[in-house]
Amino acid sequence: MNKKKQERGDFSGISQKFSKSIYDTTKGQLRVEVLKRDLAPLLATEPCLVLDVGAGLGQVNQWFQEKGFTVVHSDLSTEMIEEAERRHKAAGLGHKCKYVAASLTELVNQQPLSQYDIILCHAVLEWLPDTELAIHQLASLLKPGGKLSLMFYNYHAKLFANAIYGNFDYIERGLKVKKTVRLSPENPAVPEQVGCWLEQEGLNVQQKTGVRCFHDYLRDLTHQQRFDELLALEMKYNQMSPYRELGRYQHWLIEKPNCQEE
**What are the binding residues for S-adenosyl-L-methionine?**
31, 54-55, 75, 122
Amino acid at 156: H
| CA distance linking residue 132 with residue 130, whole number of Å | 6
The pairs formed by 78-83 with CB atoms below 8 angstroms and a separation of 24 or more are: 78/12, 79/11, 79/12, 79/13, 79/15, 80/11, 80/12, 80/15, 80/18, 80/55, 80/56, 81/55, 83/15, 83/57
Residue ranges for the binding site? 31, 54-55, 75, 122
Q: Is the peptide bond before 242 cis (omega within 30 degrees of 0)?
A: yes
Amino acid at 255: E
| CA distance linking residue 152 with residue 198, whole number of Å | 13
